[in-house]
Chains A and B, each alone.
Chain A
Amino acid sequence: MNLRDTVRTLGALSGKWMRRDFLSRRRAITQLVRVSGFSEKMAHAMLDTLFCELTTPKLQTLLRAELQSPGVLDGFVRDARNHRFVHARAPENIVHVFSSNIPNAAITSIVMGLLIGSRNIAKVSRRDEGILGIYLDSLRAHDPVLWKRCAIVNGRAEASHLMKQAGLVVVYGNDESLEEIRKSIPAKTPFVGYGHRVSFALILHEALSKEGAVRLAKKTAYDVWMADQRGCLSPVIVFTQQGGKVYPRDFAGMVALQLDRIEKGEHSKPRRSMTDTLSAVRLRDQLRIKALKGEKVGYWLSDKPGLWMVGYDERNEAEFSSGAQIIRVKGFRKLLDIEGALQKMSGSLQAVSLECAPTHRKQIAEWLGLFGVNRICRAGQLQKPPITWHHDGRLNLANWLTWTDLES
């Protein structure tokens, strides 16, 4: 199958997945709710976000963005900027290793492998959520030829054996797993690892107008809510500058109110573990103790116990919530005040939703880039990265290929 047909086939399948009555989608929603513990609304939002980036035009855009001319996959193509010819060869076999946090990365990764014409073997987590399996079932019904280029393995030994023969190993997981796998494969096997990352929101005082604050709180709450704070694009802290029309502590209260509204509109509730609940209890206790010491703090809890928590304080520290939907809002005076916190997170930062005056935007983006931030977007967009995003700050497809340059 040629590249154009692959793009069209995958794009058409995404179109099916975007229909609420598509059987595979309904199976996936059930799986995400029952097994993974997302709410139904979250599950729908995640699948919508995923498949609207995997349509035919979006996949074509991705190929153009990364390869300039998709023809490079078929043979030498002239690179006008460098006066040379380039040809990119895809690995015959790619072994993808997935963690079980959110399903989007797994499906996107397989789609990219299919785009470049590789055979894809996916090693899913022991706590597999089964979504990739459902997607591949739908691919089998949609295009059995393309489906034959994919396989799922569960066993560690089998995956380990396959990785030794792979043309490329792509791993999503924590830093320890990445390191362990990288050491276990031959030194010359290309390896791409997507490790632990965190994201945050940064709101400057000029964005906190009385009219805009409610809208902003709604968007921030959406970013917190959507992937149940399980992914690298979930904001773990909302840094909020003092000096606007709305005080940061009041803004934290607004975020809490919006989380409450989102939650009330849901038919099913996200599942909470005991450890999530205990994280919230610990944070609440920390904040109460800070209050007794005279610090400006605040906390808000969901009406139904244990669903979410917003905590506010003014310590410029890199403190993360480690439970689902526990969000820290931190008030600060000057950007310099939070530099130490960003420095501490440097190297593990992913995305920032930035709200500030348009005139400052580029300058602040430059500053954030110094700490390794690789994506800066508006509030409400954190969970909706475009397919062309430089994930972990690198090219995606182009990085998976082996390039040959023919100089004139």
Chain B
Amino acid sequence: MPTPVAGDVLRFIRCYSAKPASDSEFTVLATRVFRFQFENNTPYRRFCEMEGMTPDKLTSWKDVPAMPAAAFKELTLTTFPRIKKKKVFKTSGTTSEKRGAHYFETLELYEASILPPFEKHVLRTDAYVFYILMPSAREAPDSSLSFMLKIVNRHFGRGKGRFYIQRGRPQFESLARDLGKERKKALLLATAFALKGFLDHLEEKNLHLRLQPGSRLMETGGFKGRAREVSKAELYRLCRERLGIRDFVSEYGMTELSSQYYSRNGGPFMAPAWMRAVVMDPQTGKECRSGRLGLLKHVDLANTGSVMAVQTEDLGRMKGKGFEVVGRSRGSEARGCSLSYERFLRDSQ
């Protein structure tokens, strides 16, 4: 491990991979990580000073200042010199957009944080055949999602899972053909957007596949404001109808984070022990009362080398022991006769 703090986090992940950690245990380690990041990540320290927070004032993990996710596009947020980076994951975006970059000095923590929650929420056995409607890590080397899939495929899919997005194009026909022939239980892993495309393809070809009982879907990624957005319930309904899948897992992750949340069959997203979510009131900047809608803030101890607290633009609310995502804040629509900036940019292109 490059730093003692990272070593502590790794031990924490291993210790709590199958059991929950108390709030106080989490706060103790969060305080250490915060102090480390405050001392070693210059832009983050300046951000904390703007927020009026220092390690000495911190009393709860909830008070750790959360860097807006958009900052990953503009700033180098590392606790180590950039030259020492081993890996960089980038957010998706068009060529004209700036892409956020998350730098890693080591991937040991990243890999360690992937497997336990996947094992808990998605699969415990290697009896499933993986069908992955996403590009492989070789094709998309800066995609954190593809990297994660590589790891889970290696551990739970015996490395035999096939990737059905090749050279940027979805291979719907071969996926439908292979799924149709499959005699074992299948795990289909897909982004919601690609999955909708696949379901449309099946509809167009009037295909109804019947996967083996117990087959499962893990979807992730949402639609990110694309026009073809459908609700998760509708997506699941279509999967039941066209694929015969009845068991659904939803994954929530971000390039800016190192760990993932999972939800089973439409339930709340649940965090591993080294990660916490809190819903912030956008007006007051304070924690929302339980059940109220606000912006999701994540505190991920595995983000030791960057910033552990990230403020997203995702709208959500706490639900049970987890949270649910309601949508993504897109800011206001154009009001009255006023044009929004985005609209103007679009029109002037």
Contacts and interface: CB of A to CB of B under 8 A. Distances in A.
A229 B335 CA distance: 8
A348 B341 contact: no
Interface stretch (B13-21, B66-74, B142-150, B176-184): B66-74
A388 interface: no
Contact of A101 (B68, B335, B344): B335
Contact of B341 (A274, A275, A318): A318
Interface in A236-290: 236, 272-282, 285-286, 288-290
B43 interface: yes
A291 B312 CA distance: 19
A291 B43 CA distance: 10
Contact of A278 (B46, B282, B348): B282
A277 B282 contact: yes
Contacts of B313: 278, 282
Nearest to A236: B338
Interface string B313-345: 101000000000000011111111111110010
B331 A288 contact: no
B340 A322 contact: yes
B28 interface: no
Interface residues of B, number: 34
A353 interface: no
Contacts of B282: 274, 277-278, 280-281, 306
Main secondary structure, interface of A, reads: loop
Nearest to A275: B332
B283 A322 contact: no
Contact of A305 (B283, B333, B335): B283
A63 B81 CA distance: 72
Interface string B162-206: 000000000000000000000000000000000000000000000
A294 to B, nearest CB: 10
Interface in A319-339: 319-320, 322-324
A292 B337 contact: no
A39 interface: no
Query: Which of A197, A281, A305 counts the most chain B CB atoms within 10 A?
Result: A281
A390 interface: no
Nearest to A227: B336
Contacts of A195: 337
A196 B71 contact: no
A288 B75 contact: no
Contact of B331 (A101, A198, A279, A324): A279
Contact of B70 (A285, A293, A344): A285
Given A274-B293, A289-B74, A234 B283 contact: no
A229 B336 contact: yes
B26 interface: no
A231 interface: yes
A106 to B, nearest CB: 13
A121 interface: no
B336 A292 contact: no
Contacts of B331: 275, 278-279, 282, 322-323
Closest 9 CB pairs of A and B: A232-B337, A101-B336, A230-B336, A305-B283, A285-B68, A306-B283, A322-B340, A278-B329, A275-B332
